[in-house]
């Protein structure tokens, strides 16, 4: 497809799906996120050559929130190895809410079910390399910056807002500490986790990370292997099975691409190459970033999810 055709399609689909913003609300339980404009919707796609295709509200920045969970999992595996990480955190869906305590009470697992629920993500964050919270945060953000090529910053308002309202996450962290799963004290583990969630990012940067994941840890633009194929493979499996909270099954059925959402309204998606046909767009794979802060009861962008569904259907992105 020609560039003009791709851009025309994206603009049309953003307009068609914009009404779905009315079906959601901003994340009211985090005061700083509650103030976001729920009517925004934007998308950026980055292709194999690093060219970007944008439509809608594309100049926005937002915090990573739970999107950071898949990146911290990748980072920890890169730094300490897959076996080390999988010994501490499993890769099974839970069927429960992302911040649920029920698995600890009912199932008494020896480790969190997966790194994309809060318990698993807090565990992963506590194990990032470094002796202090500051050192762990710097190693994590440097890893993210290594993929996008420039500095990022922490949204202090979001960080403070989440820190003051993190009662459920504190409860989870105490469960983890009791099970000897944290490398830090509870408040320190919570600190590094909330910091990573509060990193501010734009659509183009997020699409670049999606592109690297789509190509098995390889950056086709700089021609560097940033993390291993094995780590990328597990990450994409987790994104498919657990990445969209309790809507992961429906998302896999109707959209069919590895993705991870966050309650700020962001979604990262990794579309692997499809070499069997040149008729559709992005046959060499791509990274996609969507932002739509109106989220549903499961924590996923209402309009963003529907936009990805239409794009995947029209351009045959599904991996299934």
**CATH dotted code for 67-197:** 3.40.710.10
Q: Is 193 annotated as a binding residue?
A: yes
Record the pTM.
0.94
Q: Do domains 3-61+201-315 and 67-197 have the same CATH topology?
A: yes
**CATH dotted code for 3-61+201-315:** 3.40.710.10
- pLDDT value, residue 281: 85
Domain range summary for the chain, segments of one domain joined by +: 3-61+201-315, 67-197
Q: In whole numbers, what is the pLDDT of the chain averaged over residues?
A: 93
Residues 101-139: pLDDT tens digits?
Answer: 656 655 555 688 899 999 999 999 999 999 999 999 999
Position 28 pLDDT exceeds 80: yes
Q: Is 66 annotated as a binding residue?
A: yes
Active-site positions? 66, 69, 193, 245, 263
Q: Is 118 annotated as a binding residue?
A: yes
**What average pLDDT does range 137-147 have in this prediction?**
97
Residues 244-279: pLDDT tens digits?
Answer: 999 999 999 999 999 999 999 999 999 999 876 566
Show the 3-state SS of the chain: CCHHHHHHHHHHHHHHHHHHHHHCECCCCCHHHHCCCCCCCEEEEEECCCCEEEEECCCCEEECCCHHHHHHHHHHHHHHCHHHHHCCCCCCCCCCCCCCCHHHHHCCCCCCCCCCCHHHHHHHHHCCCCCCHHHHHHHHHHHHHHHHCCCCEECHHHHHHHHHCCHHHHHHHHHHHHCCCCCCCHHHHHHHHHHHHCEEEEHHHHHHHHHHHHCCCEECCCCEECCCHHHHHHHHHHHHHHCCHHHHHHHHHHCCCCEEECCCCEEEEEECCCCCCCCCCCCCCEEEEEECCCECCCCCEHHHHHHHHHHHHHHCCCCC
Residues 56-83: pLDDT tens digits?
Answer: 999 999 999 999 999 999 999 999 999 9
Residues 171-227: pLDDT tens digits?
Answer: 889 888 888 888 789 999 999 999 999 999 999 999 999 999 999 999 999 999 999
- pLDDT value, residue 96: 60
């Amino acid at each position: 497809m020609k560039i003009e055709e791709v851009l025309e399609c994206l603009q049309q689909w953003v307009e068609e799906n914009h009404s779905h913003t009315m079906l959601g609300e901003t994340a009211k339980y985090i005061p700083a996120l509650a103030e976001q404009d729920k009517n925004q919707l934007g998308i950026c796609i980055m292709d194999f050559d690093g060219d970007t295709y944008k439509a809608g509200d594309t100049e926005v920045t937002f915090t990573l929130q739970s999107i950071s969970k898949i990146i911290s999992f990748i980072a920890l595996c890169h730094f300490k190895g897959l076996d080390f990480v999988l010994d501490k955190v499993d890769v099974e869906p839970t069927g429960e809410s992302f911040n649920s305590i029920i698995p600890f009470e009912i199932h008494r697992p020896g480790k969190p079910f997966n790194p994309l629920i809060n318990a698993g993500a807090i565990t992963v964050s506590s194990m990032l390399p470094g002796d202090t919270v500051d050192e762990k945060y710097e190693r994590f953000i440097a890893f993210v910056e290594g993929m996008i090529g420039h500095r990022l910053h922490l949204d202090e308002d979001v960080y403070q807002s989440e820190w003051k309202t993190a009662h459920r996450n504190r409860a989870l962290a105490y469960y983890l500490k009791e099970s000897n799963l944290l490398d830090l004290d509870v408040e320190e583990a919570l600190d590094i986790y909330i910091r990573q969630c509060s990193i501010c990012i734009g659509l183009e940067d997020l699409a670049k990370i999606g592109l690297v994941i789509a190509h098995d840890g390889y950056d086709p633009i700089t021609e560097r292997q940033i993390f291993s194929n094995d780590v990328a493979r597990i990450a994409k499996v987790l994104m498919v099975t657990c990445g969209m909270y309790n809507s992961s099954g429906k998302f896999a059925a109707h959209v069919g691409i590895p993705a991870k959402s966050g309650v700020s309204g962001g979604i990262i998606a990794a579309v692997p190459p499809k070499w069997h046909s040149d008729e559709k767009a992005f046959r060499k794979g791509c990274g996609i970033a969507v932002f739509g802060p109106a989220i549903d009861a499961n924590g996923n962008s209402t309009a963003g999810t529907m936009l990805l569904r239409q794009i995947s259907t029209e351009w045959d992105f599904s991996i299934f």
